[in-house]
Amino acid sequence: MSVRQGLLALLADAPMHAYQLRHEFEQRTGGTWPLNMGQVSTTLDRLVRDELVAPLDVDADDVVRYHLTHTGRAELERWWTTAVVRSAPARDELSIKLALAVSAPGVDVCVIVQTQRTETMRALRDLTRLKADLPASGWTREDLAWSLVLDHLIFAAEAEVRWLDHVEARVARATDKGIVLAPRAASGELPPAEQAAREHVADGGAR
């Protein structure tokens, strides 16, 4: 989640100072994406620079509160009504790790998969317990927000387990067919069709 848009969304509720913004952000997302004060302060400075947020007043402790400007509300409304772009894949460490492992000599990909599956299943159990700890009734806005974040994390963990099963099966089939999982030639050249496909993904599928 963009910290910039997140702070705008919080300031749409009421003026807040930096410490309140950090607290509200972490509370509403269940502490899943913790912020440090440096992130909050830097983002606020940029929002003020871009005239999306403005200082409102200083309280008795000399702490500045900020409020959303008209321009900031328009920016926030654009965010609410614009889909999150998924064309450019995120740099996922596990995907990169396995992609490199299958072409690295002496690396047992199945061991990596099994180790990761154990960890992902552990995380999935922890997330499921957190979901079970939510109140059965009388939910607040924060409870609902945290529940939705938990659902996303649970679905993502379940999908990761399925993907790891798929990786293990693909590697087993490749081994059975005698495919050598080794690095490419030193030139690093790809077949034209594969090169075109990878460039298409890197460009966000625009071509």
Q: Residue 187 and residue 198: Cα distance in Å, rounded?
A: 17
In sequence order, what are the residues at sequence separation of 6 or more whose Cβ sits closer than 8 angstroms to the Cβ of residue 9?
76, 79
pLDDT (0 to 100) of residue 86:
77
Q: What is the pLDDT of residues 151-173, one digit of tens each?
A: 999 999 999 999 999 999 999 88
- The mean predicted confidence, pLDDT, of the chain is 84
CB atoms within 10 A of CB 114: 13
Query: What gap in Å lies between CA 168 and CA 112, rounded to an integer?
Result: 10
Q: Is the pTM of this model over 0.75?
A: no
- Angle CA 8–65–75, to nearest 5: 20
- Give residue-wise pLDDT tens across range 105-129: 888 999 999 999 999 999 999 999 9
Please tell me which residue, 9 or 207, carries the higher pLDDT value. Answer: 9
Q: Give the separation between CA 98 and CA 109, rounded to whole angstroms.
A: 7
CA distances (Å), origin 29, targets 9, 22, 103: 13, 11, 38
DSSP-based three-state secondary structure for 2: coil
Closest CA to 18 of 7, 26, 33: 7
Of 25, 15, 28, 27, which Cα lies nearest the Cα of 64?
Answer: 15
Instruction: Catalogue all structural domains in the chain, each as residue range(s) with its CATH number.
Output: 3-81 (1.10.10.10), 93-202 (no CATH)
pLDDT at 88 over 90: no
Mean pLDDT of 34-55: 94
Cα–Cα distance list, 19 to 24, 62, 95 (Å): 9, 13, 36
The pLDDT tens digits for 54-68 are 998 776 677 899 999
> With 60 as the cut, is the pLDDT of residue 187 above it?
no
- pLDDT of 176 above 90: no
Has residue 143 got a pLDDT over 50?
yes
In percent, the amount of the chain with pLDDT more than 70 equals 85
